[in-house]
Structure 1
Amino acid sequence: MKIRIGTRKSKLALIQTNIIKDLIEKNTNHQCEIVEMSTLGDDRRDLKLTEFGGKGAFVDTIEKALLDKSIDIAVHSAKDLPVQLEQGLEIGAVAKRANPQDVLVMAQGKTISSNSVIGTGSIRRQLQIKAKYGCKCKDIRGNVPTRLKKLDDGEYDGIVLARAGLDRLNMIDIDKYNYEFFETSEFVPAPCQGIIAVENRADDGDIRDVLKAINHMETYVCFVAERAFLKAMDSGCQTPLGAISEIGEKSLKMECFYYKDKIVKMSIEGENPVLTAAVLAKKLKEVTNEG
C-alpha cells in the first residue's frame, strides 16, 4: 500500500513529514508519497493569527483533504492542532518528542535590556519574556528562516523560537547568534511543543494498524495529558497558557503556566494522564477564580 501524507510546504514541515515517512517505511512494508499543501495560515502571512482563526489556520486545508480521501494521513506540529479535531479524525501516532524548550536567539554580542525589542507572536511567550527581562515584545510571523532574516535586518534585538524547530533545521549552532535556552520549569512551553502528530481517519483500520507500529508511547501519554489539560481549560490559540509533562518511574508530572491578571504557575503528579490534567486545570481555575 502506498500511503499519501499531507503536509504544509515549509522546510520544517517537510523535515517533520520525512521523519514520519522514514518511520513508516522502516517499520512496515508500506511506501509513502508526500503531498504538499498550503493552509490559510501559510497563505495569509500579512495577518495575525488572532485575525483568522488561530491554531486551526495551519491544519484546515489538510484536514479537508484527509476527510475527502485525497490523502491518507496528515503530519502536523502538535502544538498547532485545534483543541477539537474535525469529526471523524483522530491522532493515530506521535513521533518521539524533541526538546520542548523555547530559545531566545540574539545577534552575537547582544544583551537584553529594558529597551530591547523581542519578536514573538505568542502571548504566552510575551508574558514570560516581559516577566524575565522587563523588555518590549513585538509581533512576528513567518517561518524560522524568515524570522531569523528579520533579526539579521535589525527589526528585533532577539526572537523567541522553539528549540525543536531549530534542531530539526540544524540551525542551533550558527556562529553569528547567541542562544539562551530556557528551562521548561522557568519558561513553560506551549502544550505539545516538540511533538510531531500524525492525523488519520478514525474509520480507516488499515492506516490505524500502520500508525500503531510507529507510535512513541511515552510521548503519546504526554500528548494526551497536555491535550486534556487544554480541553479542561477550554482554551484557544490566544489564551496565555503553557503546559509540559514528563513521565517518571511511577507517575506523570505536569507543570503549567497561566495568566489572568497575574502569572500563575502550578505543578501536579498523578498516574492517569487525563485525570491528572483535569485535576491541575481544576486547581488552576480555583486559584484564578474561574472554577
Structure 2
Amino acid sequence: MSTDQPRPVRALLRRSVLALSVLDDVDVDLDDDGVRLPGCVPLGWSDVARAAGCGLPGDKAVRAPSAGAAPEQPEDVVRLRVADLLRAHAELHRSRTRTVPLAVPVGAARRPAHGWSASPLLGGALELGLGVVVRSGRSERTLPVPVVSARATGRPAHAGAGELARLEEVGRLVVQRLLRDAGGRGGGVLRPVAGCDVPTLLASAALREHLVAGPDRQPGGVLRAVAVPDRTRGWFDLARIDPAYVGAAWTATDPADRGLHRPVLVTREEVALAPSSPRLVEAALRS
C-alpha cells in the first residue's frame, strides 16, 4: 500500500487478510498494490477497502477518513467482509463455479459495503443480488458476487432473468416439500435448498404466495409472520414463539450466518421487518 493511506485502515486491512490466511490456511500474497491469490486476477487495496467499508484517499464511493483516523467499521465486520471478498473472488476463478440468487438482510454485517450489485425487495428488509456458492469442508455458504471479481472473470455481476427464474423454481420446490411435510416434523420450518439460504427463499413469489395463502389456498390470507434469525433456518408457525427469542437467537448466531434480527411480515409482494414494539409484534404473530 502507498504510504499516503491512513495507518489504522492500512493495518486493519492487512490484519484481516492475514487472519484469513492463518485461520483458514488460504495462500495469499500481500504487496503495496493489493492482494494476490493463486490463479486469480489480483485485487487492489481500494477494492478490498470498498468491500469492507473502509475509506481510502481518492475513493469517491467511500468517505475517506483523515490521516490517523480510526477505520469506520468495527474490526470484526471488516474481517468478515474481507474474508468473504477473497473467498468469493477465488471461487469465481474456478471453471465450474455456480452462481445463484442471493438475498441479504439490509444492514447485515456480511453485506459488502460497496461493490455488490443488488436491488432492494419491496418491504425494505432484504436486498437481492447474485451469489456464489463456496464450500469449506462439509459446509457451504453463498457469498455476494463482487463486481470487481465478476469483471475479472467475465461472469455476470447481477441477477438476471435466468437467476430469477431459477429462484422461482426453487421456491416452488420448497412449497412442494412443505405440502409433503404438512402435519409432520418438518411442518412450519424453512431450510436452504439448492444453494439458496432461507432469507433468499423469501424473495421467491411462489413461496410467499404459499406462506400467505396456506396449503388450502385461502383467498383471504394477507400476511404471514416469519422468523429467520439465521440463514439456515426459518419458522412460519410462530403462535407459540416468544418474539424475544428471535432477537436472542440472532445475537447468538455468528455474524457470517445471521439472518433477520426481528420477525418479518411476508405478503404476496413484500418482506418487511415486524414493528419493534413487543406488543405490536405479538399482535402480528397472532394474525
TM-score normalised by length of structure 1: 0.27
Greater percentage in strand: 1
Higher RCO structure, 1 or 2 (CA under 8 Å, sep 6+) = 1
Structure possessing the higher radius of gyration over alpha carbons:
2
TM-score normalised by length of structure 2: 0.27
